[in-house]
Amino acid sequence: MDWSHVVLPDIFCPFPADFAPHPAAEDVGRQVLAHLHKIKAPPDVHATAAGVRLVGFTGRLYPGSSARGLHLAMMLTLMVFSHEDWADSGAINHHPRPATWASKTYEHAMAVFDAAAAPTAEDPPFLRLLEPFGLAVRAFDRADITHRVRASLQQWMHAQLWEQDLLRRGDAPALTVYRDLRQHASGCLLVYDLFPLVFELPVTADLLDHPVVRALTGRMANYCAWVNDLLSLPKEIEEQSTTNLVLILARDHGLSPQQAMEAGAAAVRDEAIAYQDLKQHLPALGLLPNGALASYLHRLEEYQANSLTYQQQAPRWTRREPADPTPPGQDGHREPT
């Protein structure tokens, strides 16, 4: 198929955006970069930090967070994108036993997050960030949320193994399987589970585990991941990825590239509308949308709207950029272009 002439349709987004810089973003960004030097983070991590633009990106996704919450969010951003850069480098497939090695690497990563093991110089760059990330999570002293974040982190890693196996085999998942696992592989659910800490919300893990709330976050995670699939399609075709909604729709339904892109945009719209419809029924389902839950859902919607605004501006999602060879300067940040 020739994907070179596919036109990106309008992306439906009914959620409110607040794409303003966080007032503490510059200071927090400097603190994070200083911490990278303190832990002797490898050059790859600094290159990732420059590429994702901590102030311009993370600083705009969490406008209502506390300063320490923003610090935690920036650490997560660095860890996730450092992992992406490591995985995209082909390091896993260069190992003689890639699946076994990757599985053991993720097991060690969870031990580092738990402070049950220490990172080594041989570990992948992303793993070096899990130690300070775990410490930052536990510093909020929210045992129920910490347990939930840990579970989401582990599920995210398991989903990475799934994506890596598909890429090695040149295989693509069935659409139904993709819908279930892409939520975790994208990291969206991990991000959402961190919200009670980032925004210091009084929402409990029990409330987040309510089946209706889980259905809402699942819908939003689909929306988040699928929007990313639409915007990153050129990059993923170049990298021969097989876990992209548009590519799967084209294969499973025999669609042309443009038809598949339109079908993907329609799926994004349907997921957003399904989220809104379910949210309207919260009172009838015994969940009054006020207080902690209302604050959580507001942050969920605002995050997605801000994320879409940024992704439409940032080349990281639309093509592979070379690592920024310039070491971070005074603040090490670049605004969106």
Q: What is the tens place of the pLDDT at every residue in 180-238?
A: 899 999 999 999 999 999 999 999 999 999 999 999 999 999 999 999 999 999 888 88
CA distance 337 to 331: 17
Cα-flanking dihedrals φ and ψ of residue 10, to 5°?
-60, 140
Structure tokens at 285: 């389902």
DSSP for 196-236, written as a single string:
HHHTT----HHHHTSHHHHHHHHHHHHHHHHHHHHHTHHHH
Residue 13 in contact with residue 96, Cβ under 8 Å?
A: no
Among the ranges given (29-33, 85-89, 299-303, 313-317), the one the predictor scored with the smallest mean pLDDT: 313-317
- Using the 8-state DSSP alphabet, how is residue 116 labeled? S
Average pLDDT, the chain: 88
CA distance 336 to 35: 23
Is the model's pLDDT at 91 over the cut of 80?
A: no
Nearest CA among 121, 272, 295, 287 for reference residue 202? 295
CA distance 289 to 136: 30
CA distance 45 to 82: 6
Is the model's pLDDT at 319 over the cut of 80?
A: no
The full 3-state SS of 161-173, as one line of letters, equals: HHHHHHHHHCCCC
Cα dihedral sign, 240-244-250-256: negative
| Res 315: pLDDT | 53
> What confidence category does residue 77 fall into, taking pLDDT thresholds of 50, 70 and 90?
very high
Structure tokens at 122: 């041989």
pLDDT in tens, 4-55: 899 999 999 999 988 888 999 999 999 998 988 888 888 888 888 877 778 8
User: How many Cα neighbours within 13 Å face the side chain of 224?
Assistant: 25
Is the model's pLDDT at 93 over the cut of 80?
A: no
- Using the 8-state DSSP alphabet, how is residue 187 labeled? T
CA dihedral 97, 113, 162, 209 (to 10 degrees): 160
Nearest CA among 41, 115, 117, 116 for reference residue 79? 41
User: How many Cα neighbours within 13 Å face the side chain of 240?
Assistant: 8
User: How many Cα neighbours within 13 Å face the side chain of 253?
Assistant: 18
The DSSP element (H or E) to which 245 belongs, if any, is: helix 245-253
Cα dihedral sign, 310-182-12-253: positive
